[in-house]
Amino acid sequence: MGRIATELKDDVLRITFDRPEKKNALTMAMYTALSEAVEQGDANPGVRVMLLHGNGDSFTAGNDLEDFMANPWKGQDIPPAVRFMTAVAQAKKPVLAAVHGAVVGIGVTILLHCDLIYAAEDAKLVMPFVNLGIIPEAGSTLLVPLLIGHQRAAELFMLSAPMTARRAYELGFVNAVVPRDKLMETAWGAAQTLAEKPLAALRATKALMKKPWEAEVARAMHEEVEVLTERLTSPECREALLAFLQKRKPNFR
């Protein structure tokens, strides 16, 4: 299933990034599989909660840049990555995430649409979009400043400053930081607690919490995709990706 594993147990759908040898770097095929898993989980009456996590030593290293270069967004009605962001953002059921190790790019921005997030002590979150000559996505240009303020958001976006798990907790990106060996136990326990609650009440509560910003998030995501699609063909992005492949420092001057 595109290097994505799914398991339904006790009403919880566990969706696993399963490409550990590449730190779960995401390909277009993986995005498609993730989208299908989330969409089907949200529609399946046997699923009450969804839990995202990564196999191996990382949550996800973000986009697989070689695959990213080989599959340009232009010409695609809905790029697979956009479909995945939209599926999580519009999910009606609770979505949880358990993150550890590398949490890069969309690995961070997708958390903004999850309901509960648990981080291992070794988690390191970073959004290197500007470094790649592109811009943040998943509505993050709206949601991150709302969460932490403009200046702190600028530090994360413009400087691509990494966050430790503890810093992510302090800023409100995650609900708790736990030892690595307790991560899945903690996240699974929360998922089970939610699965035992009345689902209609949970869905109604989630919908009401998201409603004040729903239209603005949709607008932000749409505008980000438009700008990002153009940025992907820019000289800055080409230089950043070429430098990555050549293992050298990019020259944006």
Identify whether the C-beta of residue 24 lies closer than 8 Å to the C-beta of residue 56: yes
pLDDT for res 1: 55
- For residue 204, give both structure tokens: 């109604």
Partner residues linked to 158 by β-bridges: none
Per-residue pLDDT at 215 exceeds 70: yes
For residue 52, give the CATH number of its domain. Answer: 3.90.226.10
| 78: pLDDT strictly greater than 80 | yes
Query: pTM for this structure?
Result: 0.95
Is 201 domain-assigned?
no
Number of domains observed in the structure of the chain: 1
Q: How far is CA 107 from CA 63, 95, 198, 245, in A?
A: 9, 14, 29, 21
**Structural domain contains residue 220:** no
> Please, which pLDDT band fits residue 74 given cuts at 50, 70 and 90?
low
In a domain, 234, yes or no: no
Assess contact for 139 and 220: CB atoms under 8 A: yes
The reply to whether 171 falls in a domain is yes
Average pLDDT over residues 6-19: 98
> Which ranges of the chain does DSSP label H, i.e. alpha helix?
28-43, 65-70, 80-89, 106-109, 140-148, 150-158, 165-171, 183-195, 199-231, 235-246
Residue 30 lies in a domain: yes
What's the token pair of residue 35? 């989208």
Q: Answer whether 99's CB lies under 8 Å from 112's CB.
A: no
Determine the pLDDT at residue 75: 67
Let me know if residue 235 belongs to a domain.
no
Containing structural domain, residue 100 = 4-180
> What is the arithmetic mean of pLDDT over 60-71?
86
Query: Is 76 part of any domain?
Result: yes
Residue 77 neighbours by CB under 8 Å, 6+ apart: none
In a domain, 15, yes or no: yes
Distance from C-alpha of 35 to C-alpha of 57, rounded to nearest angstrom:
23
132-188 pLDDT per residue, tens: 999 999 999 999 999 999 999 999 999 999 999 999 999 999 999 999 999 999 999
Give the position of tokens 């969804």: 50
